[in-house]
Structure 1
């Protein structure tokens, strides 16, 4: 399925149905990229709270499956600890972003295929990225032998299709694989009627080791100072702490002002690159919002390094002429499918309907400002569905404030009128609870 059409929820629904029908004799296992572990757990808790889901991830991980319905882990951990997983029985195995096993000779693919299971599901928006052999590898996992040996498949399908675009072979391969594939695209007339005009998704990220250490140190240093202050001084210290923690959650380099921006040092950076890869492979355009011009510059560097694409960067220092040229290039040109926008410079007034995706890298905690930014593309003139990704770091103040605003309508209304000022009025104990790592 295309991104945003609910592959994760469909898979969770199946696990829930198996449990209800008492067919889940052993836990289900989800194997996914590290960036998606938090999302899987959050989606389970939200849509299927009766499922006992656990993650096998992080330094204190334990594979205790006695009372679990679902275990969520990563390709990397499975590859390194495959013997541990092979000793368990799994009622169902779901591999998310299944293109991760496209290289049949890789240790990762071999580890996945070594597990015992009663059934297998592969989730992917891009089952074939470069060569048809990638599709063969996924089918070799789902239904071993169905498409013949690798050599036979290459001779019978891959070579005629890739080299000569043989239409008969294409039709034959589609006929052979179609009973095992559910393929839905946002452009399908039967799908588009069922979709809301705007899909908003919370994308949950983990802090890296580097981020965790800095975050804890900053909280410990500042929370005591806040407790010993009052009035305008206290409010200033709360805002200072909140800004520091936002920057740490964005990327350690954003806070320290030193070093090179590396995606592995930030959960948000990894998630952003993962999302951008999918968006670009679907030939779509995206707006990437951040509150900070400095973070925008870091994102430009990161995207150039990881994707070999130079994004457009719309910020307050541009002249009016440069802004107009940049908007025209994005709307009607092929200069870049990515536009980074500093929220204050481009949060209102722009018409950027060429984008069908929005990523909020850091959140303002003001639904009105967030909606105004999203409406750069979700507006009159937009003929396609818009998918909005809100990046939230698990276990930090970002997750806790987001939950507070979501749970209390009156708080959401308060943030519209006061922005983040309400945070400075919280008690010392409430601030400790919000800012501490969990």
Structure 2
């Protein structure tokens, strides 16, 4: 056919036009004798098709697939001092079953559903099975969560021994007797050579979005640690693009989804570029036995969690604030419009200027002092501060507690000053510069002291892992424009243990770019229940006219 055809082929009673290169591609595909590897066969069996063609499974293979996709409940380990909810027992059983048949797991339950307890239960089971004699478990978590892991183990599995491996004087002595070593991503980056010499039964990574970029030194260091089993924990396995899911899945089951190129060709590009829901469903089928995700909003999972009520709260710019916004915008747009897009370098420079403008206008919307650095400590200069005081007044009147998130540590400092000045009490402020001991004390005080009602938190330092259920209000003072990051922060309060409705207040300055970008982000929030959210970089590619429409005051 390839030799004789000149583009027109007779098939039955019809003629079909096919390009020669397409015929060559088809010929090459059917003439290849390369056998599929084990993971390619597994993907085909789970997805029910191979390269678009439906496949039939023998009874024996179907039985194996059924065993993989269904699992029996495993009796709880005797050493667990907690009553797990039914969905948590299923999660524990699933983790244990996967490890026993040689597979890793991605525990991707919604934030606040108790991933840590489910994983601690499976570690306890390993110990009771006698698996932690010569081999140990290593847990890797963000620095702020190390003490949390130690405390949770002591609370729920008192017979498990643990050691925090962190700080300048860290070392593991021959006499050290522990079941679980708890360390941070930063330590792994510097100590991977030493740690990979030890014998690990399980490597467990918490807040696994820390390895979402497969090319970073941190991710590469994690992947050098050998273990018999790998568990990844993340409430947001995808924040920006599907390659993040590949990185986390490939950590837990190496090669399951093929190479990153193979993954993007098969799943990533069709889903992200074409919104192909059929391919998205196929990806869910292929990953289902190895990734478990339950949502708090599903009442069949957990019926006793109160409602989360989200509301957009609009502020207006103060008079001088509006003038500064307009002047800064005009100056930035002059620079942006002055660039001639002749090559990739000029495009890069333009994108940089747009992102600089976003940063400047965000700071002005927060408070002019954050942008001007002029130390003018007057709360009334910002419309957002006025809105904040209105909210805090009513929260204080109701004797309730509140978390206030900002992505800027500097703004957190200003908030602390203005709140202390108005209410005559200094609020707690959790940020990247806080020492580990201070962080733990602040969390404890907020959860247990009636007097500590206001907790300011840096989004980056405190957006994940912390349990702050004493709050039933969450204020996002400035928005990150990534729904997954915002949800993570909100879920410091909206999680198991919360007894009240959680009110989420999203602060937006009316008639500015904040309002228009928020509308755009809300419109493109979900794709086949996978969070393929966006940050701010895409704004750098908008035309000058589009930029003016978004950023100008109306």
Q: Give the TM-score category using the shorter length.
A: 0.5 to 0.7
Q: Does 1:358 align with 2:474?
A: yes
Shift, 1:306, TM fit = 1.2
Aligned equivalents of 1:247 and 1:318: distance in 2? 23
1:225 corresponds in structure 2 to 335
Aligned equivalents of 2:528 and 2:306: distance in 1? 22
Shift, 1:402, TM fit = 1.0
Shift, 1:408, TM fit = 4.0
2:313 corresponds in structure 1 to 203
Aligned equivalents of 2:425 and 2:528: distance in 1? 37
Partners of 1:251 and 1:265 within 8 A in 2: yes
Q: Does 1:427 align with 2:537?
A: no
Give the SS at the match of 1:310. coil
User: TM (normalized to structure 2)?
Assistant: 0.43
2:503 corresponds in structure 1 to 387
Q: Could you give the per-residue CA deviations for residues 172-218 of structure 1, whole angstroms, max 9, x where no partner exists?
A: xxxxxxxxxxxxxxxxxxxxx9x961000111110001111100001
Distance 1:202 1:262, change over 3 A: same
Shift, 1:288, TM fit = 0.2
2:410 to 290, 294, 297: 294
Q: Does 1:342 align with 2:458?
A: yes
Distance 1:325 1:196, change over 3 A: closer
Shift, 1:248, TM fit = 0.3
Shift, 1:406, TM fit = 2.4
1:212 to 301, 308, 322: 322
Larger Cα Rg: Structure 1 or Structure 2? 2
Shift, 1:260, TM fit = 2.7
Mind listing any 5+ residue stretches in structure 1 that lack a counterpart?
1-192
Q: Could you give the per-residue CA deviations for residues 216-256 of structure 1, whole angstroms, max 9, x where no partner exists?
A: 00110011211233311111111100000000000111110
Aligned equivalents of 2:323 and 2:389: distance in 1? 23
The structure with the largest helix share of the pair is 1
Mind listing any 5+ residue stretches in structure 2 that lack a counterpart?
1-302, 340-345
Give the SS at the match of 1:261. coil
Q: How does 1:313-332 map to 2 (within 5 A)?
A: 313-332=429-448
Distance 1:409 1:347, change over 3 A: closer
Partners of 1:366 and 1:415 within 8 A in 2: no
2:427 corresponds in structure 1 to 311
Partners of 1:397 and 1:434 within 8 A in 2: yes
Partners of 1:367 and 1:412 within 8 A in 2: no
1:248 to 358, 364, 374: 364
1:261 corresponds in structure 2 to 377
Q: How does 1:51-70 map to 2 (within 5 A)?
A: none
Aligned residues: 246
Shift, 1:261, TM fit = 2.6
Aligned equivalents of 1:337 and 1:318: distance in 2? 19
Aligned equivalents of 1:345 and 1:321: distance in 2? 14
Give the SS at the match of 1:211. helix
Partners of 2:481 and 2:534 within 8 A in 1: no
2:516 corresponds in structure 1 to 400
Shift, 1:304, TM fit = 1.1
Aligned equivalents of 2:530 and 2:515: distance in 1? 18
Partners of 2:395 and 2:401 within 8 A in 1: yes
Shift, 1:259, TM fit = 3.3
Aligned equivalents of 1:329 and 1:409: distance in 2? 35
Give the SS at the match of 1:210. helix
Distance 1:410 1:375, change over 3 A: closer
Aligned equivalents of 1:384 and 1:350: distance in 2? 18
Q: Could you give the per-residue CA deviations for residues 396-415 of structure 1, whole angstroms, max 9, x where no partner exists?
A: 00011111222344699999
**Any runs of at least 4 consecutive aligned residues in structure 1 with deviations exceeding 6 A, and if so which?**
410-415
Aligned equivalents of 2:502 and 2:529: distance in 1? 24
Partners of 1:396 and 1:434 within 8 A in 2: yes
Q: How does 1:176-187 map to 2 (within 5 A)?
A: none
Aligned equivalents of 2:464 and 2:449: distance in 1? 22
User: TM (normalized to structure 1)?
Assistant: 0.54
Aligned equivalents of 1:383 and 1:409: distance in 2? 28
Distance 1:414 1:214, change over 3 A: farther
Distance 1:401 1:414, change over 3 A: farther
Shift, 1:334, TM fit = 3.0
Distance 1:311 1:366, change over 3 A: same
1:283 to 399, 420, 427: 399
Q: How does 1:16-35 map to 2 (within 5 A)?
A: none
Give the SS at the match of 1:201. strand
Q: Does 1:274 align with 2:390?
A: yes
